[in-house]
Every structure is written in C-alpha cells, then in structure tokens.
Amino acid sequence: CSLKDELLCSICLSIYQDPVSFGCEHYFCRRCITEHWVRQEAQGTRDCPECRRTFTEPTLAPSLKLANIVERYSAFPLDAILGAQRSPFPCKDHEKVKLFCLTDRTVVCFFCDEPAMHEQHQVTNVDDAFEELQRELKEQLQGLQESERGHTEALHLLKRQLAETKSSAKSLRVTIGEAFERLHRLLRERQKAMLEELEADTARTLTDIEQKIQRYSQQLRKVQEGSQILQERLAEADKHVFLAGVASLSERLKGKIHETNLTYEDFPTSKYMGPLQYTIWKSLFQDIHPGERWGTGSGRVLVRVGDITSEGWGHHQPVKETHWPGRVTQHKLEKVGVFLDYDKGLLIFYNADDMSWLYTFRQRFPGKLCSYFSPGQSHAEG
C-alpha cells in the first residue's frame, strides 16, 4: 500500500498523469499543478501544495523515472507486485522480480520488460502462477488420460471386432458352403430322380411302342395274305369257276382282315419341358421352406405383414420404413423373416420374399428370449 501512496498526486489523489516537479522535490500531475496556479493568479504568487514554498517563476520539469514507474505500476497489478519475491538471479542491473504473464505464458520483470507488452494481460506472481498452471496442466493431463483410456478401450473393441469378424467370416464361409452344398445335393438328388423317372418313362414308352410294332407287323402280314387271296379270286375270268370259289372265300379270309385302330400317345415331355427351372425350384422349396424352425440356439420364423396398417407398413402403399434403422425398401413388404442366433447374439430381419437384408440387431442376450410383435403406435380407431 505504501508503494501506491508514493504514486498518488496530492491534489487529485489519483496515480500521477505526466508527473512534474519544480524545485521542491514534490511531484504533481502537470494538469493538477497548472490548474492550482491558475487559481492563484490573483494573488501573484505560486506555491507548492505540499510544503507551501512559494515560487516566482517556477519551471515544470517532467520526471521520466517517476513516469516510467507509474507506467509499470499501471501495467502490472498491485497484488502481483506485492506478492512478488526477489530472485537470486540477476536481471541486468536488477534482481529479477518473479512475475508471470498468464496471457503470454512467460516470466516477466517489473523493471526490465516493457509494460505496454503486458497491458490488459493477466499478470500474477510466480507462486500463484505455479498453482494455476499446475491445476490447468493437471486438468489437461486428466483429459489426456481419459482420452487414452477411451482410445485404449476403442482399440480393444476394434481388435475384438477384428477377431470376431475373422471368426465370423470363417464360420460364414463354412455356413455358406454347407448351405450351397445342401442345395447342390438336393439338386443332384432332384436331377437323379428326374433322370430315373425319365428313364422309366422312356423304357415304358419304348416297350409299348415295340409291342405295338410287333403286333401290327403280324397283322400286316395277314392283311397282305388276305389281299393276295382276293386279288387271285378277282383275277378269275371264268364265271363258273369264280362263283364256285366264292363259298370257301370267307373261310380263307378268316383272321386276315384287321382294322387299324392305333391311337398315338405322346411321350410325356411336358413334365420335362416348359418352366423346368421353376418346377425344380418349387420342388426344392418344399424342402427348404423358411417356415418356423427350431434348433440348438437358433430359430427362424416368418411374420406376415400384409394386413399391418401402422405407420410405414401401409397395406395399400409401398413400405418406406422411415423409423427402421436398417435397409430402406421401396417395395411392398409382405413377409418379414426373423432369424435368431442366440449363441452369437444375432437377431436378423429380412424380406422373406427376396431374402434381402433389412436389419441386424447385435446383443449378448442375458437370458431366455420370448417373441413379441407389435405393429407400432396404435391408430386412433384402435
């Protein structure tokens, strides 16, 4: 407080502004002493407000040192100066006063540094600065440590996901291979069965045709014999001989006349032609129909949604599923497939018509699961 008192003008009681002196070693603001003497012009004398010494023609001399001290005092806060301790390290001609500018993050000297450099800055003593920066750096360290823990957990999670992805991909390769191998096996079985059925139909048809050929060949020879008998009788020119042979003609032609009543039966190519692939698919569908199935830890069920009329599931408009966090489809959704792999924590929804993926829910299930279906928010009419 004594330092501040030394820097106060005794006229205005404020810190010196352009301090001057005039011979008695007392200092005043230039403006304050000038106004004081103007008020004394009527008396014809000029005195010092402090010691009352009079002067005839006083000359105002600026005090550069005092002005410099005032400037430095104004630039640095009083509490910092009062709380400063002297350092044993020299600072040119002065002992360095321990001040610290928090704004510039640097140590400053009350005597040597330019005050204007730290004007309006946050300046404090070294002890307070030490505590402040210690607290600030500890907060930064805490933030970095939290970030380190977060990154460590993230890397742990990513590495676990990496291992799980590799494991899942390996398992999926086996699953896909088994699924397609089953389809291939079913196709091979369907192919074998269809070829065997074709061979049976072919053998049966060929046997029937060969039997008919043999029968008609025998009938043809008899018909030819009967034709020859009739031609010989018709060639007889003698009327008496011709008529005499007519009586035995019926007996000779017996068993020689046969009618051709062959009906052509088409080979059953229709069941092997036409939409053959669709026919095969329909037969396979009976074996791989994704209806309700249960196994060890897995299940699959179909949900028909054709009559659901809640938001996004309109019966008369395409499904947009704005509330669905998975795949958006513009097509009308008739059946939703739900696939559960309990052990792997997977619950998958898909379009059961084209088997396109809709959404995958991943969660380690804590216990028994029960199916529950809701169409969403109820309509006003219930």
What is the mean predicted confidence (pLDDT) over 143-151? 94
pLDDT value for 147? 94
pLDDT value for 28? 92
What is the mean predicted confidence (pLDDT) over 267-283? 71
Q: Which position has the higher pLDDT, 382 or 101?
A: 101
- 166 pLDDT more than 80: yes
Q: Which position has the higher pLDDT, 107 or 52?
A: 52
Identify which of 69-73, 186-190, 243-247 has the greatest average pLDDT: 186-190
- 197 pLDDT more than 80: yes
pLDDT value for 54? 86
pLDDT value for 315? 34
Percent of the chain with pLDDT over 70: 72
Where are the domains positioned within the chain?
A: 1-83, 131-253, 300-307+331-381
Query: Going by CATH, does the domain composed of 1-83 fall within 3.40.630.40?
Result: no
pLDDT value for 5? 77
Summary mean pLDDT of the chain: 76
Q: Which position has the higher pLDDT, 170 or 251?
A: 170
- 196 pLDDT more than 50: yes
Q: Which position has the higher pLDDT, 379 or 156?
A: 156
Q: What is the pLDDT of residues 333-372, one digit of tens each?
A: 788 888 888 887 888 888 877 778 888 888 888 888 887 7
pLDDT value for 87? 45
pLDDT value for 366? 84
3-state secondary structure the chain: CHHHHHCECCCCCCECCCEEECCCCCCEEHHHHHHHHHHCCCCCCEECCCCCCEECCCCCEECHHHHHHHHHHHHCCHHHHHHCCEEEEEECCEEEECEEECCCCEEECCCCCCHHHHCCCCEEEHHHHHHHHHHHHHHHHHHHHHHHHHHHHHHHHHHHHHHHHHHHHHHHHHHHHHHHHHHHHHHHHHHHHHHHHHHHHHHHHHHHHHHHHHHHHHHHHHHHHHHHHHHHHHCCCCHHHHHHHHCCHHHHCCCCCCCCCCCCCCCCCCCCCCCHHHHHHHHHHHHHCCCCEECCCEEEEEEECCCCCCCCCCCCCCCCCCCCCCCCCCCCCCEEEEEEECCCCEEEEEECCCCEEEEEEECCCCCCCCCCCCCCCCCCCC
Q: What is the pLDDT of residues 38-76, one digit of tens each?
A: 888 877 778 898 888 888 788 888 888 888 888 777 766
What is the mean predicted confidence (pLDDT) over 210-237? 86
pLDDT value for 299? 52
Q: Read off φ and ψ for residue 233, nearest 5 degrees.
A: -65, -40
pLDDT value for 220? 87
**Contact between residue 126 and residue 109 where contact means Cβ atoms under 8 Å apart:** no
Q: What is the pLDDT of residues 287-321, one digit of tens each?
A: 665 544 544 445 555 555 544 333 333 333 333 36
pLDDT value for 311? 33
Per-residue pLDDT band at 273 (split at 50, 70, 90):
low
Per-residue pLDDT band at 261 (split at 50, 70, 90):
confident
pLDDT value for 143? 93
Q: Which position has the higher pLDDT, 275 or 318?
A: 275
What is the mean predicted confidence (pLDDT) over 137-161? 93
pLDDT value for 359? 85
Percent of the chain with pLDDT over 90: 12
| Tokens at 33, concatenated | 């002493």
Strand partners, 335: 304
pLDDT value for 115? 56
Mean pLDDT lowest among 156-160, 169-173, 197-201, 241-245 = 241-245
